[in-house]
A and B are shown apart, each in its own frame.
Chain A
Amino acid sequence: MTLFASDQKTTTSKAHLGNKQWSIIRLAAVVAAAGSILLAGAQPETPGFAQTTPDGKSLVIPADQASMGTAYYTIPDRDRQVFFESNAPLEDIKGQSNKVIGYAIVSPSTPGEIVAGEWHLPVTSMKTGIKKRDGHLASDMWLDAKSFPNIVFHITQTENLRLVKKTASFASYSGTLVGDLFMHGVTHHISIPNATITMLKASPATARVAKGDLMAIRSKFSVSLKDYGVSHPVIGEKVANTVHIDVSLYLSSEPPARQ
């Protein structure tokens, strides 16, 4: 009897232990799921970038942005679009690219006002005149082109827009471009003051250069490499932490595929 009672107790205990194990497994699963969700939330924020068109010469404009105004498309592979300069005590580095793709949406009510836009600068397209240095720039020690192939500027609005000059053929505006700059996996909200936006109506003179109404965006700003998680022992000696950037983007109302 005692033995039976003992067996029964053991059986009950075994069954109880089984339930406990199941509970632990369930609890572990819940903790793991919650952990995954939390970890996913802790990842660096990656904005939803616009997709590249099949020909690789532009970006697909999201429908919500396309409806905001007139689309202008960046004309790549022509004039230099981005120039950057690093002035460090031991070395001055100058580089450039003409491979920027993207678009700007101009307000239908306020000429020259960019209400949305996005540009992608491929990291591997940045040329400094020394091929090995270009390779270093794209390596994981610097901008890590494998993980973050593009430097992306996502413009959200134009502030302090004012007309600078207007003639029958063009209008030039000055304003502050506001948006998010994504580089090396890090996004910062930035404002670029004193940007120049020039609009040129299509004419026989412009048609010789590019189809459609044309637009130029010129701006200068600086970027701190450390702010974007780029750290290297030579920063401050051979490469300056602050890189000066000079942008001259030329856009057309006709997409590159129709140029």
Chain B
Amino acid sequence: MKEGIMNARMRHVIIGLCCLAIAGSIVAWAATGAHAYSRSRDTEIEAANASSDLSDLFGEATPDAAPPPEQVESVNAVGLVPSGPGRESISVLTISAPALVIIVVMLWLDKRTNKHKGTNP
């Protein structure tokens, strides 16, 4: 029997890998904070967040002062959508969209091959 572009086993492996990539991107998104946009670390934010000697000094002087606002995050995070080039381009969307396209193509090839098998036994 003559196979098309690739054999059924290969197609199923590719579909499996694509499903893994989609699942992996969703797990990474959830594990890195479930942000809407992908993020990468920013050294300037980290430096400002790390420095607290002045605020600590005045915090001791004015213990009843309002608490400082929460910090701006500086993290590597996979978002639902990309937010820029480089690391910030890695997102659930940029991984899942091509993977879904590949899955659809593989399924179509599978269906086509099975059809051929049916017509030309």
Residue interface bits B1-44, CB-to-A below 8 A is 1, else 0? 00000000000000000000000000000000000110110101
For B36, the chain A residues whose CB sits under 8 A away are 91
Determine whether B113 belongs to the interface, using a CB cutoff of 8 Å to chain A: no
For A, the interface residue count at a CB cutoff of 8 angstroms equals 39
For A79, the chain B residues whose CB sits under 8 A away are 48, 51-55
Determine whether A170 belongs to the interface, using a CB cutoff of 8 Å to chain B: yes
Min Cβ gap A95→B in Å is 6
Residue interface bits A204-234, CB-to-B below 8 A is 1, else 0? 0110011000101010100000000000000
For A57, the chain B residues whose CB sits under 8 A away are none
Asked if A131 and B57 sit within 8 Å, CB to CB, the answer is no
Determine whether A129 belongs to the interface, using a CB cutoff of 8 Å to chain B: yes
For A250, the chain B residues whose CB sits under 8 A away are 54-55, 58
- Residue from the list B45, B64, B83 in contact with A132, Cβ < 8 A: B83
List CB contacts (< 8 Å) of A119-136 with chain B: 125, 127-133
| CB-based nearest B residue for A91 | B36
Asked if A129 and B61 sit within 8 Å, CB to CB, the answer is no
Asked if B72 and A95 sit within 8 Å, CB to CB, the answer is yes
Determine whether A258 belongs to the interface, using a CB cutoff of 8 Å to chain B: no
Min Cβ gap B89→A in Å is 10
Determine whether A246 belongs to the interface, using a CB cutoff of 8 Å to chain B: yes
| CB-based nearest A residue for B50 | A79
Asked if B53 and A209 sit within 8 Å, CB to CB, the answer is yes
A-B pairs with beta carbons under 8 A, tally: 102
Asked if B69 and A85 sit within 8 Å, CB to CB, the answer is yes
Asked if A205 and B84 sit within 8 Å, CB to CB, the answer is no
Min Cβ gap B82→A in Å is 9
Residue interface bits A130-145, CB-to-B below 8 A is 1, else 0? 1111000000000000
Asked if B69 and A129 sit within 8 Å, CB to CB, the answer is no
Determine whether A253 belongs to the interface, using a CB cutoff of 8 Å to chain B: no
List CB contacts (< 8 Å) of A55-89 with chain B: 75, 77-80, 83, 85
Asked if B62 and A129 sit within 8 Å, CB to CB, the answer is no
Asked if B72 and A172 sit within 8 Å, CB to CB, the answer is no
Asked if A130 and B88 sit within 8 Å, CB to CB, the answer is yes
Min Cβ gap A189→B in Å is 26
Min Cβ gap A169→B in Å is 7
For A214, the chain B residues whose CB sits under 8 A away are 54, 57-58
For A196, the chain B residues whose CB sits under 8 A away are 62, 65
Given A198-B62, A248-B55, the answer on whether A80 and B48 have CB atoms closer than 8 Å is yes
For A172, the chain B residues whose CB sits under 8 A away are 61-62
Among B64, B65, B83, chain A packs the most CB atoms within 10 A around the CB of B65
- Residue from the list A75, A96, A128 in contact with B54, Cβ < 8 A: A75
Asked if B55 and A129 sit within 8 Å, CB to CB, the answer is no
Determine whether B68 belongs to the interface, using a CB cutoff of 8 Å to chain A: yes
Asked if A98 and B51 sit within 8 Å, CB to CB, the answer is yes
Asked if B72 and A131 sit within 8 Å, CB to CB, the answer is no
Determine whether A192 belongs to the interface, using a CB cutoff of 8 Å to chain B: no
Given A83-B69, A129-B39, the answer on whether A200 and B74 have CB atoms closer than 8 Å is no
Asked if A198 and B58 sit within 8 Å, CB to CB, the answer is yes
Asked if A96 and B45 sit within 8 Å, CB to CB, the answer is yes
Q: Which 4 A-B pairs have the closest CB atoms?
A: A132-B84, A98-B48, A170-B61, A250-B54
Given A85-B69, A94-B70, 17 further pairs, Cβ under 8 A: A77-B47, A78-B54, A79-B48, A80-B51, A83-B68, A83-B69, A125-B44, A129-B42, A132-B88, A133-B83, A196-B65, A198-B58, A198-B61, A209-B57, A210-B54, A214-B58, A220-B66
